[in-house]
Protein backbone atom coordinates (compact mmCIF):
# COMPACT_ATOMS: atom_id res chain seq x y z
CA UNK A 1 0.00 0.00 0.00
CA UNK A 2 1.47 3.29 -1.14
CA UNK A 3 3.70 2.45 -4.15
CA UNK A 4 5.20 5.92 -4.32
CA UNK A 5 8.78 6.97 -4.88
CA UNK A 6 10.10 5.73 -1.54
CA UNK A 7 8.58 2.26 -1.84
CA UNK A 8 9.89 1.91 -5.39
CA UNK A 9 13.36 3.09 -4.36
CA UNK A 10 13.47 0.94 -1.23
CA UNK A 11 11.35 -2.18 -0.60
CA UNK A 12 10.82 -2.88 -4.31
CA UNK A 13 14.59 -2.83 -4.83
CA UNK A 14 15.20 -5.32 -2.01
CA UNK A 15 12.64 -7.67 -3.58
CA UNK A 16 14.27 -7.14 -6.99
CA UNK A 17 17.62 -8.08 -5.40
CA UNK A 18 16.39 -11.53 -4.37
CA UNK A 19 14.62 -12.47 -7.61
CA UNK A 20 17.69 -14.16 -9.06
CA UNK A 21 17.48 -16.68 -6.20
CA UNK A 22 13.80 -16.67 -5.22
CA UNK A 23 11.72 -16.17 -8.34
CA UNK A 24 8.32 -16.70 -6.73
CA UNK A 25 8.10 -13.29 -5.06
CA UNK A 26 6.57 -10.20 -6.68
CA UNK A 27 4.79 -7.00 -5.69
CA UNK A 28 1.28 -5.73 -6.33
CA UNK A 29 1.11 -2.04 -5.48
CA UNK A 30 -2.08 -0.46 -4.12
CA UNK A 31 -2.50 3.28 -4.60
CA UNK A 32 -4.95 4.50 -1.97
CA UNK A 33 -5.67 7.86 -3.59
CA UNK A 34 -4.24 8.77 -6.98
CA UNK A 35 -3.98 6.76 -10.20
CA UNK A 36 -0.85 8.72 -11.18
CA UNK A 37 1.74 6.00 -10.56
CA UNK A 38 -0.30 3.34 -12.35
CA UNK A 39 -0.99 5.58 -15.33
CA UNK A 40 2.69 6.42 -15.60
CA UNK A 41 3.98 2.85 -15.37
CA UNK A 42 1.32 0.59 -16.91
CA UNK A 43 2.48 1.12 -20.52
CA UNK A 44 6.04 0.21 -19.53
CA UNK A 45 4.99 -3.06 -17.83
CA UNK A 46 5.52 -1.42 -14.41
CA UNK A 47 9.25 -1.34 -15.05
CA UNK A 48 11.08 1.83 -14.02
CA UNK A 49 14.60 3.16 -13.60
CA UNK A 50 16.33 3.44 -10.23
CA UNK A 51 18.90 6.23 -10.38
CA UNK A 52 21.55 5.99 -7.65
CA UNK A 53 22.66 9.55 -6.95
CA UNK A 54 26.25 9.41 -5.78
CA UNK A 55 29.71 10.56 -6.89
CA UNK A 56 29.23 8.15 -9.76
CA UNK A 57 25.61 8.03 -10.90
CA UNK A 58 24.28 4.57 -11.82
CA UNK A 59 21.08 3.31 -13.45
CA UNK A 60 19.14 0.10 -13.00
CA UNK A 61 15.76 -1.12 -14.21
CA UNK A 62 13.60 -2.54 -11.40
CA UNK A 63 11.17 -5.33 -12.28
CA UNK A 64 9.70 -6.53 -8.98
CA UNK A 65 6.34 -4.71 -9.36
CA UNK A 66 3.94 -6.73 -11.50
CA UNK A 67 0.74 -4.78 -11.04
CA UNK A 68 -0.69 -1.64 -9.45
CA UNK A 69 -4.30 -1.32 -8.31
CA UNK A 70 -6.00 2.01 -7.57
CA UNK A 71 -8.19 1.54 -4.52
CA UNK A 72 -10.82 4.24 -5.23
CA UNK A 73 -11.35 2.77 -8.72
CA UNK A 74 -10.80 -0.93 -7.98
CA UNK A 75 -11.89 -1.61 -4.39
CA UNK A 76 -13.14 -5.14 -5.09
CA UNK A 77 -9.88 -6.08 -6.83
CA UNK A 78 -7.86 -4.73 -3.88
CA UNK A 79 -9.82 -6.84 -1.40
CA UNK A 80 -9.55 -9.85 -3.70
CA UNK A 81 -5.76 -9.48 -3.82
CA UNK A 82 -5.52 -9.03 -0.05
CA UNK A 83 -7.63 -12.12 0.67
CA UNK A 84 -5.69 -14.26 -1.83
CA UNK A 85 -3.69 -16.99 0.00
CA UNK A 86 -0.69 -16.09 -2.19
CA UNK A 87 -0.55 -12.66 -0.55
CA UNK A 88 1.83 -13.25 2.32
CA UNK A 89 3.21 -9.80 3.22
CA UNK A 90 1.57 -6.37 3.09
CA UNK A 91 3.86 -3.36 3.44
CA UNK A 92 2.70 0.19 4.08
CA UNK A 93 4.44 3.37 2.91
CA UNK A 94 1.58 5.81 3.47
CA UNK A 95 3.26 8.52 5.64
CA UNK A 96 2.34 9.17 9.25
CA UNK A 97 -1.05 10.70 8.47
CA UNK A 98 -2.18 7.60 6.56
CA UNK A 99 -2.59 5.63 9.80
CA UNK A 100 -5.50 7.80 11.04
CA UNK A 101 -4.04 8.09 14.54
CA UNK A 102 -4.90 10.63 17.21
CA UNK A 103 -2.52 12.64 19.34
CA UNK A 104 -2.35 9.80 21.86
CA UNK A 105 -1.09 7.40 19.19
CA UNK A 106 -4.34 5.39 19.20
CA UNK A 107 -6.77 5.10 16.31
CA UNK A 108 -8.72 8.32 15.80
CA UNK A 109 -12.36 7.24 15.69
CA UNK A 110 -13.30 10.80 14.73
CA UNK A 111 -11.24 10.59 11.53
CA UNK A 112 -13.65 10.88 8.57
CA UNK A 113 -12.23 7.80 6.83
CA UNK A 114 -12.51 5.66 9.96
CA UNK A 115 -16.08 6.82 10.61
CA UNK A 116 -16.96 6.12 7.00
CA UNK A 117 -15.38 2.63 7.10
CA UNK A 118 -17.12 1.66 10.33
CA UNK A 119 -20.43 2.61 8.75
CA UNK A 120 -19.67 0.41 5.72
CA UNK A 121 -16.85 -2.01 6.64
CA UNK A 122 -17.20 -4.22 3.56
CA UNK A 123 -16.28 -1.30 1.26
CA UNK A 124 -13.37 0.40 3.06
CA UNK A 125 -11.36 3.42 2.00
CA UNK A 126 -8.70 3.63 4.73
CA UNK A 127 -5.65 1.34 5.00
CA UNK A 128 -6.89 0.18 8.42
CA UNK A 129 -10.30 -0.62 6.95
CA UNK A 130 -8.80 -2.58 4.06
CA UNK A 131 -6.53 -4.58 6.37
CA UNK A 132 -9.31 -5.53 8.80
CA UNK A 133 -11.87 -6.37 6.11
CA UNK A 134 -9.40 -8.50 4.14
CA UNK A 135 -8.30 -10.31 7.31
CA UNK A 136 -11.96 -10.96 8.10
CA UNK A 137 -12.40 -12.48 4.64
CA UNK A 138 -9.27 -14.60 5.06
CA UNK A 139 -10.47 -15.90 8.43
CA UNK A 140 -13.86 -16.70 6.92
CA UNK A 141 -12.13 -18.67 4.16
CA UNK A 142 -9.80 -20.49 6.55
CA UNK A 143 -6.70 -18.63 5.31
CA UNK A 144 -3.95 -17.55 7.71
CA UNK A 145 -3.34 -13.80 8.05
CA UNK A 146 -0.58 -12.13 6.11
CA UNK A 147 2.21 -10.23 7.89
CA UNK A 148 1.65 -6.46 7.98
CA UNK A 149 4.88 -4.44 7.74
CA UNK A 150 4.81 -0.69 8.38
CA UNK A 151 7.65 1.02 6.51
CA UNK A 152 6.94 4.59 7.59
CA UNK A 153 8.86 6.92 9.88
CA UNK A 154 6.55 6.35 12.80
CA UNK A 155 7.93 5.56 16.24
CA UNK A 156 6.95 2.00 17.19
CA UNK A 157 5.41 1.73 13.72
CA UNK A 158 4.48 -1.95 13.87
CA UNK A 159 3.10 -1.67 17.39
CA UNK A 160 0.99 1.38 16.57
CA UNK A 161 -0.33 -0.24 13.42
CA UNK A 162 -1.22 -3.41 15.33
CA UNK A 163 -3.03 -1.37 18.00
CA UNK A 164 -4.96 0.62 15.38
CA UNK A 165 -6.00 -2.55 13.56
CA UNK A 166 -7.05 -4.21 16.84
CA UNK A 167 -9.03 -1.18 18.00
CA UNK A 168 -10.86 -1.03 14.69
CA UNK A 169 -11.43 -4.80 14.53
CA UNK A 170 -13.09 -4.86 17.96
CA UNK A 171 -15.84 -2.65 16.51
CA UNK A 172 -16.35 -5.14 13.68
CA UNK A 173 -16.12 -8.34 15.73
CA UNK A 174 -14.42 -9.08 19.05
CA UNK A 175 -13.71 -12.62 17.83
CA UNK A 176 -12.01 -11.23 14.72
CA UNK A 177 -9.91 -8.91 16.87
CA UNK A 178 -8.82 -11.84 19.05
CA UNK A 179 -7.90 -13.90 15.95
CA UNK A 180 -5.80 -11.03 14.56
CA UNK A 181 -4.07 -10.55 17.89
CA UNK A 182 -3.30 -14.28 18.15
CA UNK A 183 -2.34 -15.07 14.56
CA UNK A 184 -1.13 -11.94 12.70
CA UNK A 185 2.34 -10.38 12.86
CA UNK A 186 3.11 -6.67 12.80
CA UNK A 187 6.93 -6.37 12.97
CA UNK A 188 8.49 -3.01 13.73
CA UNK A 189 10.90 -1.65 11.15
CA UNK A 190 13.34 1.11 10.32
CA UNK A 191 13.62 2.37 6.76
CA UNK A 192 16.14 4.85 5.47
CA UNK A 193 17.25 6.16 2.09
CA UNK A 194 16.92 9.76 1.00
CA UNK A 195 14.58 9.79 -1.99
CA UNK A 196 13.96 13.18 -3.61
CA UNK A 197 10.77 13.79 -5.54
CA UNK A 198 10.94 12.82 -9.22
CA UNK A 199 10.89 15.81 -11.55
CA UNK A 200 11.33 16.47 -15.27
CA UNK A 201 15.05 17.04 -14.75
CA UNK A 202 15.46 13.46 -13.54
CA UNK A 203 13.27 12.10 -16.35
CA UNK A 204 15.31 13.98 -18.96
CA UNK A 205 18.55 12.85 -17.30
CA UNK A 206 17.48 9.20 -17.53
CA UNK A 207 16.58 9.57 -21.19
CA UNK A 208 19.88 11.27 -21.99
CA UNK A 209 22.03 8.77 -20.07
CA UNK A 210 20.25 5.51 -20.99
CA UNK A 211 18.28 6.29 -24.14
CA UNK A 212 15.22 5.01 -22.26
CA UNK A 213 12.03 7.04 -21.97
CA UNK A 214 10.77 6.46 -18.45
CA UNK A 215 7.58 8.18 -17.30
CA UNK A 216 8.40 7.87 -13.62
CA UNK A 217 11.98 6.96 -12.65
CA UNK A 218 13.05 7.31 -9.02
CA UNK A 219 16.31 8.64 -7.63
CA UNK A 220 17.87 7.94 -4.26
CA UNK A 221 21.18 8.17 -2.47
CA UNK A 222 23.50 5.16 -2.47
CA UNK A 223 22.90 4.56 1.25
CA UNK A 224 19.90 2.39 2.02
CA UNK A 225 18.86 0.69 5.24
CA UNK A 226 16.04 -1.64 6.22
CA UNK A 227 15.92 -3.08 9.73
CA UNK A 228 13.07 -5.50 10.42
CA UNK A 229 11.95 -7.49 13.44
CA UNK A 230 11.96 -11.13 12.38
CA UNK A 231 8.30 -11.96 13.06
CA UNK A 232 6.41 -13.29 10.01
CA UNK A 233 3.26 -15.39 9.98
CA UNK A 234 3.54 -16.86 6.46
CA UNK A 235 7.27 -16.85 5.80
CA UNK A 236 9.35 -14.22 4.03
CA UNK A 237 12.04 -13.84 1.36
CA UNK A 238 15.70 -14.39 2.22
CA UNK A 239 16.07 -10.69 2.80
CA UNK A 240 19.41 -11.05 4.55
CA UNK A 241 21.04 -11.88 1.22
CA UNK A 242 19.79 -8.52 -0.08
CA UNK A 243 21.21 -6.59 2.88
CA UNK A 244 18.15 -6.33 5.13
CA UNK A 245 19.05 -6.41 8.84
CA UNK A 246 16.74 -8.87 10.60
CA UNK A 247 16.71 -8.33 14.37
CA UNK A 248 14.85 -9.33 17.51
CA UNK A 249 13.98 -5.72 18.48
CA UNK A 250 14.42 -2.34 16.79
CA UNK A 251 13.92 0.18 19.61
CA UNK A 252 17.47 1.53 19.82
CA UNK A 253 17.82 1.88 16.04
CA UNK A 254 14.37 3.40 15.56
CA UNK A 255 14.69 6.07 18.22
CA UNK A 256 18.12 7.14 16.96
CA UNK A 257 16.92 7.34 13.39
CA UNK A 258 13.77 9.31 14.15
CA UNK A 259 15.53 11.81 16.37
CA UNK A 260 18.94 12.22 14.72
CA UNK A 261 18.13 11.79 11.03
CA UNK A 262 14.50 12.87 10.84
CA UNK A 263 14.88 15.49 13.58
CA UNK A 264 17.88 17.02 11.82
CA UNK A 265 15.95 16.96 8.54
CA UNK A 266 13.09 18.94 10.08
CA UNK A 267 15.54 21.44 11.55
CA UNK A 268 17.27 21.87 8.20
CA UNK A 269 13.90 22.23 6.45
CA UNK A 270 12.37 25.03 8.52
CA UNK A 271 15.56 26.95 9.31
CA UNK A 272 16.85 26.37 5.80
CA UNK A 273 13.67 27.70 4.20
CA UNK A 274 13.84 30.84 6.34
CA UNK A 275 17.51 31.24 5.38
CA UNK A 276 16.62 31.10 1.68
CA UNK A 277 17.84 27.60 0.76
CA UNK A 278 16.06 25.05 -1.44
CA UNK A 279 17.81 21.76 -0.66
CA UNK A 280 19.41 19.87 2.22
CA UNK A 281 22.79 20.11 0.49
CA UNK A 282 22.61 23.90 0.25
CA UNK A 283 21.47 24.25 3.86
CA UNK A 284 24.04 21.93 5.48
CA UNK A 285 26.87 23.60 3.58
CA UNK A 286 26.09 26.94 5.20
CA UNK A 287 28.57 27.17 8.09
CA UNK A 288 26.26 28.60 10.74
CA UNK A 289 23.46 26.17 10.00
CA UNK A 290 25.86 23.23 9.86
CA UNK A 291 27.27 24.14 13.30
CA UNK A 292 23.76 24.51 14.67
CA UNK A 293 22.69 21.07 13.41
CA UNK A 294 25.80 19.41 14.83
CA UNK A 295 25.29 21.10 18.22
CA UNK A 296 21.61 20.20 18.32
CA UNK A 297 22.37 16.56 17.53
CA UNK A 298 25.23 16.15 20.01
CA UNK A 299 24.06 18.36 22.88
CA UNK A 300 20.26 18.11 22.91
CA UNK A 301 19.35 14.87 21.09
CA UNK A 302 22.26 12.50 21.78
CA UNK A 303 21.73 12.47 25.59
CA UNK A 304 18.25 10.96 25.04
CA UNK A 305 19.64 7.94 23.15
CA UNK A 306 21.55 4.76 23.94
CA UNK A 307 24.24 3.01 21.91
CA UNK A 308 24.15 -0.74 21.43
CA UNK A 309 26.61 -3.36 20.28
CA UNK A 310 27.70 -2.57 16.74
CA UNK A 311 25.85 0.76 16.69
CA UNK A 312 27.91 3.75 17.83
CA UNK A 313 25.89 6.95 17.95
CA UNK A 314 28.75 9.40 17.28
CA UNK A 315 29.71 7.37 14.21
CA UNK A 316 26.07 7.45 13.15
CA UNK A 317 25.92 11.24 13.52
CA UNK A 318 29.06 11.56 11.38
CA UNK A 319 27.57 9.37 8.68
CA UNK A 320 24.36 11.42 8.64
CA UNK A 321 26.21 14.72 8.23
CA UNK A 322 28.22 13.19 5.38
CA UNK A 323 25.02 12.02 3.68
CA UNK A 324 23.48 15.48 3.99
CA UNK A 325 26.53 16.86 2.13
CA UNK A 326 25.98 14.73 -0.98
CA UNK A 327 25.91 17.32 -3.81
CA UNK A 328 24.03 15.02 -6.20
CA UNK A 329 20.99 14.58 -3.92
CA UNK A 330 18.56 17.44 -4.41
CA UNK A 331 16.39 16.74 -1.37
CA UNK A 332 13.92 19.62 -1.37
CA UNK A 333 13.40 21.36 1.96
CA UNK A 334 9.79 22.09 1.05
CA UNK A 335 9.21 18.34 0.67
CA UNK A 336 10.63 17.64 4.14
CA UNK A 337 8.67 20.54 5.65
CA UNK A 338 5.27 19.05 4.80
CA UNK A 339 3.04 17.55 7.51
CA UNK A 340 4.92 19.33 10.29
CA UNK A 341 2.04 18.96 12.74
CA UNK A 342 2.45 15.18 12.51
CA UNK A 343 6.24 14.96 12.28
CA UNK A 344 7.37 17.47 14.90
CA UNK A 345 5.69 15.82 17.92
CA UNK A 346 7.72 12.61 17.47
CA UNK A 347 10.89 14.15 16.03
CA UNK A 348 11.37 17.23 18.19
CA UNK A 349 8.70 17.76 20.86
CA UNK A 350 9.23 14.32 22.42
CA UNK A 351 12.92 15.16 22.83
CA UNK A 352 12.06 18.51 24.42
CA UNK A 353 9.79 16.74 26.91
CA UNK A 354 12.52 14.27 27.90
CA UNK A 355 15.12 17.02 28.23
CA UNK A 356 12.82 19.11 30.40
CA UNK A 357 12.25 16.16 32.69
CA UNK A 358 16.00 15.55 32.96
CA UNK A 359 16.93 19.22 33.30
CA UNK A 360 18.80 19.30 30.00
CA UNK A 361 18.90 22.21 27.47
CA UNK A 362 16.12 22.70 24.90
CA UNK A 363 17.01 26.03 23.27
CA UNK A 364 18.08 24.64 19.87
CA UNK A 365 15.10 22.31 19.68
CA UNK A 366 12.78 25.22 20.47
CA UNK A 367 14.32 27.21 17.63
CA UNK A 368 13.23 24.45 15.23
CA UNK A 369 9.64 24.68 16.49
CA UNK A 370 9.75 28.48 16.24
CA UNK A 371 11.08 28.21 12.67
CA UNK A 372 8.14 25.95 11.77
CA UNK A 373 5.76 28.61 13.12
CA UNK A 374 7.53 31.29 11.09
CA UNK A 375 7.31 29.21 7.91
CA UNK A 376 3.56 28.80 8.50
CA UNK A 377 3.19 32.54 9.12
CA UNK A 378 5.09 33.41 5.92
CA UNK A 379 3.04 30.99 3.83
CA UNK A 380 -0.17 32.49 5.19
CA UNK A 381 1.10 35.99 4.41
CA UNK A 382 1.56 35.16 0.70
CA UNK A 383 -1.41 32.75 0.45
CA UNK A 384 0.91 29.83 -0.27
CA UNK A 385 -0.62 26.36 0.24
CA UNK A 386 0.40 24.34 3.31
CA UNK A 387 0.69 20.57 3.02
CA UNK A 388 -0.47 19.37 6.43
CA UNK A 389 -3.50 17.57 7.87
CA UNK A 390 -4.09 20.69 10.01
CA UNK A 391 -3.59 23.06 7.06
CA UNK A 392 -6.80 25.05 7.56
CA UNK A 393 -6.10 25.70 11.25
CA UNK A 394 -2.46 26.54 10.58
CA UNK A 395 -3.32 28.98 7.80
CA UNK A 396 -5.87 30.67 10.06
CA UNK A 397 -3.28 31.10 12.81
CA UNK A 398 -0.63 32.41 10.44
CA UNK A 399 -3.07 34.73 8.70
CA UNK A 400 -4.18 36.30 11.98
CA UNK A 401 -0.57 37.00 12.91
CA UNK A 402 0.15 38.40 9.44
CA UNK A 403 -2.63 40.90 10.11
CA UNK A 404 -1.27 42.15 13.41
CA UNK A 405 -2.50 39.45 15.79
CA UNK A 406 -0.24 39.33 18.84
CA UNK A 407 -1.15 35.88 20.17
CA UNK A 408 0.50 33.61 17.58
CA UNK A 409 2.41 31.50 20.08
CA UNK A 410 -0.68 30.90 22.21
CA UNK A 411 -2.66 30.03 19.09
CA UNK A 412 -0.08 27.44 18.06
CA UNK A 413 0.24 26.03 21.57
CA UNK A 414 -3.53 25.58 21.71
CA UNK A 415 -3.25 22.92 18.99
CA UNK A 416 -3.75 19.85 21.16
CA UNK A 417 -3.01 17.58 18.19
CA UNK A 418 0.55 18.95 18.17
CA UNK A 419 1.47 20.14 21.68
CA UNK A 420 0.73 17.87 24.66
CA UNK A 421 -0.71 19.53 27.76
CA UNK A 422 2.31 18.51 29.82
CA UNK A 423 4.51 20.59 27.51
CA UNK A 424 2.31 23.65 27.18
CA UNK A 425 2.03 23.77 30.97
CA UNK A 426 5.82 24.09 31.27
CA UNK A 427 6.95 27.64 31.99
CA UNK A 428 10.51 26.73 30.96
CA UNK A 429 9.29 25.50 27.57
CA UNK A 430 7.08 28.52 26.96
CA UNK A 431 9.90 30.91 27.87
CA UNK A 432 12.43 29.12 25.65
CA UNK A 433 9.97 28.97 22.72
CA UNK A 434 9.08 32.65 23.11
CA UNK A 435 12.75 33.63 23.07
CA UNK A 436 13.38 31.41 20.05
CA UNK A 437 10.47 32.90 18.13
CA UNK A 438 11.53 36.45 18.93
CA UNK A 439 15.09 35.67 17.84
CA UNK A 440 13.76 34.91 14.34
CA UNK A 441 12.35 38.43 14.11
CA UNK A 442 10.04 38.76 11.14
CA UNK A 443 11.28 35.52 9.62
CA UNK A 444 13.43 37.16 6.98
CA UNK A 445 16.70 35.63 5.77
CA UNK A 446 18.89 37.97 7.83
CA UNK A 447 16.88 37.21 10.96
CA UNK A 448 17.33 33.48 10.48
CA UNK A 449 21.11 33.81 10.19
CA UNK A 450 21.22 36.03 13.26
CA UNK A 451 19.21 33.48 15.28
CA UNK A 452 21.77 30.78 14.42
CA UNK A 453 24.67 32.72 15.94
Per-domain residue ranges of the chain:
5-247, 251-451
Long-range contacts of 292-299 (CB under 8 A, 24+ apart): 292/267, 292/364, 292/367, 292/452, 293/264, 293/267, 293/268, 293/321, 293/324, 294/321, 295/364, 296/263, 296/264, 296/267, 296/364, 296/365, 296/368, 297/260, 297/263, 297/264, 299/361, 299/364
| Range 104-122 burial, b when 16+ CB lie within 10 A, else e | ebebbeebebbeebbeebe
CATH 3.40.50.720, applies to 5-247: yes
- Alpha helices, H only, 141-237: 157-172, 174-183, 200-210
- Alpha helices, H only, 383-426: 391-402, 408-413, 421-424
> pLDDT tens track of the chain, all 453 residues?
999 999 999 999 999 999 989 999 999 999 999 999 999 999 999 999 999 999 899 999 999 999 999 999 999 999 999 999 999 999 999 998 899 998 788 999 999 999 999 999 999 999 999 999 999 999 999 999 999 999 998 889 999 999 999 999 999 999 999 999 999 999 999 999 989 889 999 999 999 999 999 999 999 999 999 999 999 999 999 999 999 999 998 988 889 999 999 999 999 999 999 999 999 999 999 999 999 999 999 999 999 998 877 789 999 999 999 999 999 888 899 999 999 999 999 999 999 999 999 999 999 999 999 999 999 999 998 999 999 999 999 999 988 876 555 678 899 999 999 999 999 999 999 999 999 999 998 878 888 888 998
Predicted model pTM = 0.79
Strand pairing report for 189-192 and 225-229: antiparallel
Domain 251-451: top CATH class: mainly alpha
Amino acid sequence: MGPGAFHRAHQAVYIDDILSQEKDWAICGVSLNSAGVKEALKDQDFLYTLVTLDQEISYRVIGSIKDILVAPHQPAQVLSRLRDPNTRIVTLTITEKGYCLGTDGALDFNHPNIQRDLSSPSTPVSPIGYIVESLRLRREAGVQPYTVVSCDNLMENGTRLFQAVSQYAVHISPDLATWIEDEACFPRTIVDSITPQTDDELRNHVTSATNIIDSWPVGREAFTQWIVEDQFSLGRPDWECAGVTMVGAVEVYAKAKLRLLNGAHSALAYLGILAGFDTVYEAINEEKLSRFIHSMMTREILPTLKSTSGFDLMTYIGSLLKRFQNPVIKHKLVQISSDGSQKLPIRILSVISENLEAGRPIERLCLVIAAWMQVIRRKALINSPIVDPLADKLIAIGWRDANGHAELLNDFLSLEAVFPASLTASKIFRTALTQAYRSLGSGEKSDAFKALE
